[in-house]
Amino acid sequence: MFEIDQVQLNNMFDAELAWESLPFLLQGVPMTILLAIIGMVGGLILGFFVALARRSKNILLRWPSRIYISFMRSTPIIVFLFLIYYGLPIIGIKLTAFLAASIAFGLNSAGYIAEIYRAALSSVDNGQWEAAKALNMSYWKTMWKIILPQAIRIAIPPLANVFLSVMLSTSLAAIITVPELFQKAQIVAGRTFDGMTMYILVMLIYWPIGIAISFLQDRLEKKYENFMKVN
C-alpha cells in the first residue's frame, strides 16, 4: 500500500501559499457567478422558445429546433468558446472574452434547457389545454396562466442541475482569458510553480458554491410548492 508522509503531504498542498493566495482567487468568484448567471438566463430564454418550436406541428419550426438541440448537446462547450472568441474575428466580429463566454454558455445551455422544458410541458395533462380552449383562452394566455406554472414545478430540479453544470463549466472560460476563479488560480500557479496547491484550493472554493446552489434549489422547490397550494 502507498503511504504518504508529512513531507509528501506538505509538498502536495502548501497551506501557507493557499492562505496567502486565497484573497486573490476569491476576486474571481464574482466573475464566475456572474458568467454562470448570464449564461443560464440566456439559456432559459432561448431554451424556452426552442422547446416550443420542438413541440410545434410546423415542420419548419420542429426540425431546426431538433437539429439545434442535437448539435448543442453533442459538441463540447470549449469548441464554442474558441469559435466565438477566436473564429468570429476572422469575419470581422470582435467580442470581449466575457461576452464571448456568455454567448457560448447561453447557446450551449439552451440545448439542454430546451429538452427540460419540453419534457416538463409534455407532462402537463392535455386536458388542461382542452379546458382552456373551451374557455376561449388564447394559446399564450393558456401557456402563461395554466401550463407553464405547472411545468416549472417539474422543471426546477433538472434546471438547477444545469445551472450547477454551467457554474462548473465557467472554468473553461479561463482559456480565453476571462478573469474568473480558475484563471486566477492559473496565474498564481504559473508564478509559484505550485499547481497542486492552487487546483486543490480551487476545488475547495467551488465546493461551497455547489452546496449553496443545492440549498437554493431545495428552498425554491419548497417555496414554489407552497405557492402552488395557495393558488
**Domains in the chain, start-ordered, CATH in brackets?**
6-230 (1.10.3720.10)
Handedness of CA 8, 10, 13, 14 (dihedral sign): negative
Cell of 149: 406554472
Predicted pLDDT at 227: 57
Cell of 71: 448539435
Predicted pLDDT at 7: 47
Q: From CA 226, how far away is CA 231, in angstroms rounded?
A: 9
Q: How many Cα atoms occupy the beta-carbon half-sphere of 130 within 13 Å?
A: 3
Predicted pLDDT at 1: 43
Predicted pLDDT at 127: 86
Predicted pLDDT at 145: 84
The residues near 231 (Cβ < 8 Å, ≥ 6 apart) are 149
Cell of 155: 422543471
Residue 51's closest CA among 76, 70, 69, 37? 69
Most confident of 17-21, 112-116, 212-216: 112-116
**Can you tell me which residue has the cell 405547472?**
150
Predicted pLDDT at 218: 86
Question: With bands split at pLDDT 50, 70 and 90, how would you rate the model's confidence at 2?
Answer: very low
Residue 121 belongs to what H/E stretch?
A: helix 97-123
- Cβ-in-10-Å burial (0-12, 13-18, 19+) of 182 comes to buried
Predicted pLDDT at 223: 76
Reduced DSSP (H G I as helix, E B as strand, rest coil) percent helix, strand, coil of the chain, to 5: 85, 0, 15
Average pLDDT over residues 143-150: 87
Q: From CA 205, how far away is CA 184, in angstroms rounded?
A: 12
Q: Which tens digit of pLDDT belongs to each residue from 25-67?
A: 999 999 999 999 999 999 999 999 999 999 998 999 999 999 9
Strand intervals (E) in the chain: none
Predicted TM-score (pTM) of this structure:
0.86
Question: With bands split at pLDDT 50, 70 and 90, how would you rate the model's confidence at 11?
Answer: low
Could you give phi then psi for residue 27, rounded to 5 degrees? -65, -25
Q: Which tens digit of pLDDT belongs to each residue from 84-108?
A: 999 999 999 999 999 999 999 999 9
Predicted pLDDT at 133: 84
184 within 8 A of 28, measured Cβ to Cβ? yes
Cell of 26: 476569491
Residue 146 in this model has a pLDDT that exceeds 90: no
Q: From CA 121, how far away is CA 125, in angstroms rounded?
A: 9
3-state secondary structure of 163: helix
Q: Which tens digit of pLDDT belongs to each residue from 103-141?
A: 999 999 999 999 999 999 988 888 888 888 888 888 888
60 within 8 A of 151, measured Cβ to Cβ? no
